[in-house]
Structure 1
Amino acid sequence: MEDFNFDEYVKMVKSFQEKDDPTGWFDSIYKNANGDYKKVFWADLEPSPYLVEWLEKNPLNKKNKKACVIGCGVGDDAQALSEFGFDVTAFDISPSAIELCINRYPNTKVDYIVADLFDYPKEWFEKFDVVYECNTIQVLPGVYRHKARDAMSSLICKDGYILVSCRSRNEGEKQDAIPLPLTKKEIDNFKTINNLKELSFLAYDDNQEPSVPHFFAVYKK
């Protein structure tokens, strides 16, 4: 994104949160890219290596296996799931993000859709074998973080999985940060809902300078 100013970004996010409109600002990030997915400041432009590693080590031998990518951004993770044989539904609340995905991958098999996690189509309930969540919760405030976790978990079918990737922090740290990384206690709340069982949990630092702590966890229903 041209002339990106992080302080202005934080100010914008806070202004929407104060109006109890925690997702109202998302589209502006993608719209300001002016059709160039490379200008979305938070896009890695490659699938998560932890997602790819999990897919390689855990092949799902099932016909018509379905995956859902939450807040799909510019589409890298959705495309990776598609390449592993999933019928992928990838959604974002931002129409501009979905437009970027469709233009970036004109021959994609992924179903890119504008949708709201808090009001998703009823037919998605318990539909997906794999649900992938990356960095959505951390940009939400307060009660919306709990609502997001519950909504995400409700997308998983019986014996399905949810993979959760997020920035992390220690309890009591960075309490006013935007985005607000998850604590261990917060991500552990996935184990308390919808009969989810933790299969794996990883805390790691990425390769940025300075390094940024992350969690990558896998739960099964």
Structure 2
Amino acid sequence: MDESARSKFLSMVKAHQDRDDPSGWCDQVYQDADGDVSAVFWADLVPNPYLITWLEAHPNTSPQRTAITVGCGVGDDAEALSAHGYQVTAFDISPTAIALCRKRYPDSRVNYVVADLFDHPRDWANGFDLVFECNTIQVLPGEYRLRALNAIAAMVAPGGHALISCRSRNTGEKEDAFPLPLDRPEIDGFIRAGLCEQAFVIYDDDQAPPVQHFFACYNRPTK
């Protein structure tokens, strides 16, 4: 994305945030792609490599185990979860994104649905053995970040896991950035929400210059 396009994009995001509509801009990005998934500028078009590493290290032994992908985008991570034997629900607030997923994977076993993280079906509460969140919280402003974190944590079933991937920052840095990376106290909100940290990785991605990330695994105790 060149500087002119980025400036226009940020103006659109701010306009929605200023009217307390924190994610209303998302569908426009997918509409502008005009059916071309490669034109969605944030889509890697491959599954998250840390998700794949975790799935390979923790093989799914039951075809009954369920997973959900938060803000599924164009579907790469959801399809990876399905390929590893999970019954997968993948949702996005953008109807156009979900239409792209269904067109891209016409024979998929994934249940692609349009849904709002802040107003999702009640039976999703404590409803999934594996919850995967990648880069949703970081695009939200203010109080919506904590609300999103708590909503994601609440989807994890007893004994289940949450895998969280996001940009990261040191506390006090990049306060005006968009997306706003999570710092360690913020991502520790998953612990405050009742989950137990099992693994935590800080890494740099392969962009130039590299961008620092967190990848964390949490578990909900059975008791």
Please tell me the residue identity of whatever aligns with 1:117: L
1:211 aligns to 2:214 (yes or no): no
Q: Secondary structure at the match of 2:188?
A: helix
Count of residue correspondences: 220
Equivalence for 1:57 = 57
How far is the alpha carbon of 1:4 from its aligned partner?
7.5
> Does structure 1 retain, via aligned residues, the 8 Å contact 2:63–2:86?
no
Q: Give the letter for the 2:122 counterpart.
A: K
Cα distance change on mapping 1:108 and 1:3 into 2, 3 Å = farther
TM-score under structure 2 length normalisation: 0.96
Partner residue in 2 for 1:43: 43
- Distance (Å, rounded) in 1 between the aligned partners of 2:214 and 2:10: 23
Deviations 1:134-179 (A, max 9, x none): 0000000010000000100111110000000000111111101111
Bigger mean CA offset, 10-19 vs 68-77:
10-19
> Which residue number in structure 2 is paired with residue 99 of structure 1?
99
1 CA distance for matches of 2:14 and 2:7? 11
Partner of 1:201: 200
Preserved contact between residue 62 and residue 85 of structure 2 (Cα < 8 Å)? no
Alignment of 1:67-82 (within 5 A): 67-82=67-82
Letter in 2 for 1:209: A
Secondary structure (helix, strand or coil) at the match of 1:117 reads coil
1:60 Cα offset (Å): 3.0
Work out the CA distance in 1 between the residues paired with 2:218 and 2:155. Answer: 13
How many Å separate the matches in 1 of 2:89 and 2:63? 16
What CA distance in whole angstroms lies between the structure 1 residues aligned with 2:195 and 2:88? Answer: 22
Structure 2: state its 5+ residue gaps: none
Q: In the aligned structure 2, how far is the partner of 1:106 from the partner of 1:67?
A: 20
Which amino acid in 1 is paired with 2:128?
F
